[in-house]
Chains A and B, each alone.
Chain A
Amino acid sequence: MSLIKADLAEILKKQYFFKFKANIDVFSSLVGLQLLAVLFSLGGGMYTGYYGGGMDISMKLYSADMVILFTMIWALITSVTITTKPYRNYEFTFVTNRISSSLSNILFLLTISLLAGFTSMLSANLIHVLVYFFIDSGMLIYEQHMQDIITGVISTSLYIFLFCSFGYLFGAFIQVHKVFSGLIPVGIIGLLLFDGMKLNSTIAMFYFNEPSLFMFFIKTIILAGIAFAVAILILRNMEVKR
């Protein structure tokens, strides 16, 4: 039987498409979670009232923020899940090495981030329509341009992708030792509380208040890249323990 020389690109492609089939549950959980978030969003937020001169104006903001938040949590959980033992093991049933496994995981996460960013942006429309027909048929002020939607989708996807990279790194640490599954969340929350949310606001300023989409893109890709690179280095020497 003749030997076949392995081609990394070819195998990456196969793994990438295989992962969509194998991780089909990821999509159903996304749909379920986003629908739940839409339901929660119908309550609205940011209530502003104005009374005076014989007029009573009240404004309520209905947005997809809740959906985006839920989607980020979903991204975190999904990326941790695909680093766990059963998910890594079934790749070794077929053809893989550690690098191709991680690279195809990253491509998969990037794709689902784009998809999730797209659906969570569109969910804003669903929320508005639902509110208008079923809850609050007052005056609906609604303005959205194509450009806003595109910017929204890209930036939301980038946030989700960033969370995927954190999740992947977190998952890689857990694979080294289970103790990290508790240590890291406690450490992060502790750190935030310890310095009175100062670090928190610096990070927020750096990432969440970036006016230029391009700069934001660069920053996100660099940070996600670092997280993925560290995760790859960690997972590289991982032995397969069935």
Chain B
Amino acid sequence: MGVIECREVSKKYLRKKALNQLSFTIEENKITGLIGRNGAGKTTLLKLLSGFIKPTSGKIKIFSEKPFDNLTVSVNSILIDDQMAFPTALNLGDILVAASKFYPNWDSKLAEGLLNYFSFKTYQYHNRLSKGQKSTFNMIVGLSSHCPLTMFDEPTTGMDEAVRKDFYRALLKDYIAYPRTILISSHHLEEIEHILEDVLLIKNGECILHQSITDLKEMMIAIQGKKEEVSSLLLNHDVISEQMIGTDYMQKVIKRHEISEDSILSARRSGLEINAVSPSQACLYLTQERKGGIDDVFN
């Protein structure tokens, strides 16, 4: 039984399909990264899961209930993004007090600690904060709520390097102390891969990959060497990406299971360079449109 279950979920905005027949299940107490390019449907998916919007077709179950207009889902989940609205009449201190009343698992000690650490003052107002500060404050609300389902949509927008690192560390520490289901959407997989267990990759509203980060790390290899050698080695393989390096050398990326250990070994011996492809690179290859790159625009 998963915390999140989606069956053939589609969402249309007027004529544009934001999500297309999306199906996946997320188990309890896992940290999952929701990865995809701009406009892939990450935000739409998270809004559907929080019950903000209704699916056009398909079934969504959060804790075995339909999320739209559902009070139980609302109490047990929170969505943190840079559009979070707070009453303008309340200062930061008041907002945290209000949140503590609404969310039953609220951790006041954590909220206070984080507020002090990031040097917020309780008398400040949310709409006067800078972009990065807003994101930081929203993140404090998200972590302290200790909701069984916590979702972050691009949580680090506007945060500086130091705050981003602190945030991921705080998230991991708090998760270890209070395990819960966490979904983080991001374009920067390399930034969050160390805290993720699973990756859910979506492209054009479709789920194209849902597996553990360790599997993803071993999914692809890059073979680099003299053009002819690489080409002859990978003559009958499904090449995911190829790139010229200078005039004589090239790099091709293939899935690891496409090639046997023996051929890898012999390729190494004959001077080819074989490297693992990082998860974020792998995601990039999986989501790129096959035909050409940005260079083609200018040619």
Structural contact, A14 and B101, CB atoms closer than 8 A: yes
Tell me the nearest residue of chain B to A23, going by C-beta.
B89
Query: A18 CA to B99 CA in the complex, in Å?
Result: 10
- Min CB–CB distance A57 → chain B (angstroms): 52
The answer to whether B74 has its CB under 8 Å from any CB of chain A is yes
Within 8 A of A (CB), among B72-115: 72, 74-76, 81, 83-87, 89-90, 94, 98-99, 101-105
Given that A21-B98, A237-B54, A239-B53 are contacting pairs, would A97 and B74 also be in contact in the complex, using a CB cutoff of 8 Å? yes
Given the interface pairs A14-B102, A239-B54, the reply to whether A90 lies near B74 with Cβ below 8 Å is no
Number of interface residues of B (CB under 8 A): 38
Minimum CB–CB distance for B179 against chain A, Å: 7
Contact B71 A100 (CB under 8 A): yes
Query: Which of chain B's residues has its CB closest to A240's CB?
Result: B52
Q: For the side of the interface on A, what is the size category?
A: 20 to 34
Residues of B within 8 A of A90 (CB): 85-87
What string of 1s and 0s marks CB contacts (under 8 Å) between B229-253 and chain A? 0000000000000000000000000
Q: State whether A3 touches B148 (Cβ < 8 A).
A: yes
| CB proximity to B under 8 Å, residues A1-29 | 1-6, 8, 11, 14, 18, 21-25
Contacts of B87 in A (CB 8 A): 21-23, 90
- A237 and B146 alpha carbons, distance in the complex (Å): 28
Q: Are A92 and B71 in contact (CB under 8 A)?
A: no
Residues of B within 8 A of A25 (CB): 89
Q: Report A-chain residues with C-beta under 8 Å of the C-beta of B141.
A: 93
A240 contact from B47, B71, B72, B178, Cβ within 8 A: B47
Q: How many A-B residue pairs have CB under 8 A?
A: 91
**Residue B180 is within 8 A (CB to CB) of chain A in the complex:** yes
Q: How far is the CA of A86 from the CA of B141 in the complex (A)?
A: 18
Across the interface, which residues of B come within 8 angstroms of A94, CB to CB? 98-99, 102-103
CA distance A89 to B75 in the complex (A): 15
Query: Does A3 contact B85, Cβ atoms closer than 8 Å?
Result: no
Whether A1 and B179, one on each chain, are in contact in the complex, defined by CB atoms closer than 8 angstroms, is: yes
The answer to whether A3 and B63 have CB atoms under 8 Å apart is yes
Please tell me if A140 contacts chain B, counting CB pairs below 8 Å. no
- Cα–Cα, bound, A24→B178 (Å): 36
Provide the bound-state CA to CA distance between A12 and B127, in Å: 26
Residues on B with C-beta less than 8 A from A1 are 29, 105, 146-148, 178-180
- Asked if B190 is at the interface (CB within 8 A of a chain A CB), the reply is no
User: Is A98 in the interface zone, CB < 8 Å from B?
Assistant: yes
Q: How far is the CB of A180 from chain B (nearest CB, A)?
A: 20
How far is A86 from B127 in the complex, measured between Cα atoms in Å? Answer: 12
Find out whether the CB atom of A97 lies under 8 angstroms from the CB atom of B94: no
* CB-defined contacts of B29 to chain A, threshold 8 Å: 1
Contacts of A21 in B (CB 8 A): 87, 89-90, 94, 98
A242 touches B179 (CB 8 A): no
Contact A22 B89 (CB under 8 A): yes
Contact residues in A for B27 (Cβ distance below 8 Å): none
A96 at the interface (CB under 8 A from B): yes
Q: A97 touches which one: B70, B98, B147 (CB < 8 A)?
A: B70
Which of A93, A98, A239 lies at the interface centre, i.e. has the most chain B CB atoms within 10 A of its CB?
Answer: A93
Q: Does A236 contact B (CB under 8 A)?
A: yes
Contact B89 A97 (CB under 8 A): no
A93, B147: Cα distance in complex, Å: 13
In the complex, how many angstroms separate the beta carbon of A5 from the nearest chain B beta carbon?
A: 6
Query: Is A233's beta carbon under 8 Å from chain B?
Result: no
Which residues of chain A have C-beta atoms less than 8 A from B146's C-beta? 1
Is the beta-carbon distance between A98 and B89 smaller than 8 angstroms?
no
CB of A4 within 8 A of CB of B94, answer no
Q: State the 5 A-B residue pairs at the shortest beta-carbon distance, nearest first.
A: A22-B87, A242-B83, A240-B52, A6-B71, A89-B85
A-B contact pairs, 21 of them (CB 8 A): A1-B29, A3-B76, A4-B105, A5-B72, A14-B102, A18-B102, A21-B98, A22-B89, A23-B87, A24-B89, A25-B89, A89-B85, A92-B85, A93-B85, A94-B103, A95-B71, A95-B74, A95-B102, A96-B74, A97-B51, A242-B52
